[in-house]
Amino acid sequence: MFNSIDVVRDISYASEEEWAKIKLDYGKLLWDDTHLNSDNCAELLLIFKKCMEHFNLEFWLTYGTALGFYRDGDFIPWDDDIDTHVDGGEFLEAGINNIKDYLIEKGVVVRSRERGLNSKMSLFYKKEKLQVQGVYEEDGMIHAKLFFYPKEFYENWQSFTYRGEKYRLPGPADEYLTFCYDKDWKTPQDIKDWRDYMNPNQLKDEAWKSNQKKYLSLKENLK
């Protein structure tokens, strides 16, 4: 179904109403969220990397992708997508539709959402998904939509080579991962609910942060 560039383009530019129906009817053909296939993920990540190079954009591998690469040297099998951050201002300047059209020509379904410096894209290819999140710097912190991080992690990035290609991880990676996942990140855990492993310190909203702390406290007391 997704082998035709015309079909890929139609899905990529479908209205939100049409997209909801496509996901209902063909969602499992677009994205298998039960696990990651390393070969397909590596292919999608390389397509994305070449796209970023084409538009002279830098990006970072983040969250579970950074965790898997740094800790295990590969994607985490039970993860459900590839996580990346890109400078939101440069992302917009390059033109979201320009980037989208480049990827569509490579056979990638691209759904985009323009929301200023936190604009995002979701890429679908061979049942894998790659998330592109625009971020920006303010008051010494790098801001995603819901989370923020000390800017030093992005300035002091470290290189990681995967299948002969070099990628950026926020660095020092061990400090970044501790900030994201607290000290438990070194132990692999097959967990799907992000609340079970996320350090609340990265949440921007104080109410969310408070709720996450309460959730983790309750979980600990139930052990």
pLDDT tens figures, 145-173: 989 999 999 999 999 999 999 999 999 99
The region that residue 126 occupies, defined by phi over 0 for left and psi between -120 and 50 for alpha, beta otherwise, is: left
Residues 52, 21, single domain; the answer is yes
Q: What is the average pLDDT score of the chain?
A: 92
Residues 55, 21, single domain; the answer is yes
Residues 178, 220, single domain; the answer is no
The 10s digit of each residue's pLDDT in 5-60 is 999 999 999 999 999 999 999 999 999 999 999 999 999 999 999 999 999 999 99
In contact, 130 and 48? CB cutoff 8 Å: yes
The whole-number average pLDDT for the span 184-201 is: 78
Distance CA 31, CA 41 (A): 12
Residues 181, 199, single domain; the answer is no
> % helix / strand / coil in the chain, to the nearest 5?
50, 25, 30
Which of the two residues, 75 and 222, has the higher pLDDT score? 75
DSSP output for 27-43: HHHH--TT---HHHHHH
Residues 27, 52, single domain; the answer is yes
> Among all chains, which residue has been given the structure tokens 């995603």?
144
Residues 89, 152, single domain; the answer is yes
Q: Which range of residues forms the domain containing residue 166?
A: 5-188
Q: At 178, which helix (H) or strand (E)?
A: helix 173-181
* Length, in residues, of the chain: 223
Residue 194 has pLDDT above 90, yes or no: no
Which of the two residues, 146 and 221, has the higher pLDDT score? 146
Structural domain total, the chain: 2
Which of the two residues, 206 and 153, has the higher pLDDT score? 153
Exposure class string for 92-120: b at 16+ Cβ within 10 A, else e: eebebeebbebbbebebbbbbeeeebbbb
Residues 216, 116, single domain; the answer is no
Residues 210, 157, single domain; the answer is no
pLDDT attached to residue 210: 74
- Give the pTM: 0.92
- Looking up residue 87, the CATH number of its domain turns out to be 3.30.460.40
pLDDT attached to residue 30: 94
Residues 89, 171, single domain; the answer is yes
User: In the structure encoding, which two tokens stand for residue 152, read together?
Assistant: 């030093």
Residues 201, 184, single domain; the answer is no
pLDDT attached to residue 198: 77
6: helix, strand or coil: helix
Residues 134, 204, single domain; the answer is no
Residues 181, 197, single domain; the answer is no
Confidence of residue 106 (pLDDT cuts 50, 70, 90): very high
